[in-house]
Structure 1
Amino acid sequence: MALFLTVFAVCMLIFGGVALVLLTTRTPRYRTEPEHLLDLFDKALDNRVGETEWNALIDYPIRHDEYMENVRRRARLLMDEHGWHGRVARGKPLLDEEGHAELHALRQHLAARTRLKRGEG
């Protein structure tokens, strides 16, 4: 009987510890920051970004900042209007010349707003 109670107590301690850990930890969240978009735009402008990396960041909605969500939507629209799927695989830039110019302007605008928001401006 003593062995049963010892095993039962150890099992309850383990199950209780696991339950406590599960109840107190939060679900990890990915939060897109302006630096993530600026880095992605820099890579796209230098023709160093792949479509997978572009789509992974641009297709993920940004819920914490309406301005950045609009920038993300604009970048997605640029890809729809001025990019073709498979261009990078063929050794071509992600966007055509007009899309490249618009992405550069969008990048400059986001960088200026980020500097102003941080008080560096």
Structure 2
Amino acid sequence: MALFLLVLAVCLLVIGSVVVLLLVSRTPRYRTEPEHLLELFDQALENRVNESEWHAVIGYPIRHDEYLEGIRRRAYRLMDEHGRYGRMARGRSLLDATGHEELAALRDHLAARLRLQRGTNDSTRHER
């Protein structure tokens, strides 16, 4: 009987600990920042991004910043209008020439806004 009570106490302790951990832990959240979008745009312009990476960032809504959500939507629209699915697998650019130019303009606009927000005139990325 003592062994049964010991096993029951250990099981309750383990199960109780797991329940407490689940109650106190929060759901992990991914928060897209302007630097993430700039890095993704740079990779896309240099043909170093694949479709999975592109869709992982661009397909995820940005709820904490309305401006960034607008940029994300424009990039999503660019892929719909000028993207060619499967191009990266064939060694080509993710976007056609027009989409490439529009993405470069969108990237420059976001970089300029970020510099203005931070109050610096230093460019952290290469100028286009």
2:77 corresponds in structure 1 to 77
Partner amino acid, structure 2, of 1:23: L
2: CA distance, partners of 1:90 / 1:14 = 53
The residue aligned with 1:59 is 59
- After TM superposition, where is structure 1 displaced by more than 6 Å over at least 4 residues in a row? none
User: Counterpart of 1:39 in 2: which secondary structure?
Assistant: helix
| Unaligned residue ranges in structure 2 (runs of 5+) | 122-128
Residue 2 of structure 1: how far off its partner (Å): 2.3
* Distance (whole Å) between structure 2 residues aligned to residue 2 and residue 105 of structure 1: 74
Tell me whether 1:115 sits opposite 2:115 in the alignment: yes
What is the correspondence of 1:1-121 to structure 2 with a 5 Å cutoff?
Answer: 1-121=1-121
Q: Give deviations 1:41-98, integer Å, cap 9, x for gaps.
A: 0011111111111111111111111111100100011111112111222222111221
**Aligned-partner Cα distance in 2 for 1:7–1:32:** 47
Q: CA RMSD in A?
A: 1.3
In 2, distance between residues paired with 1:114 and 1:29?
Answer: 23
What are structure 1's unaligned runs of at least 5 residues? Answer: none
One-letter code of the match for 1:69?
Answer: E
Aligned length: 121
2:43, 2:88 → 1: CA distance? 12
Alpha-carbon offset, residue 114 of structure 1: 1.5
Of all paired residues, the percent bearing the same amino acid is 69
Which moved further from structure 2: 63-72 or 80-89? 80-89
CA distance in 2, matches of 1:64, 1:4: 52
Equivalent residue of 2:89, what SS?
A: coil
For residue 28 of structure 1, report the CA deviation from its aligned partner: 0.8
TM-score, normalization: structure 1?
0.92
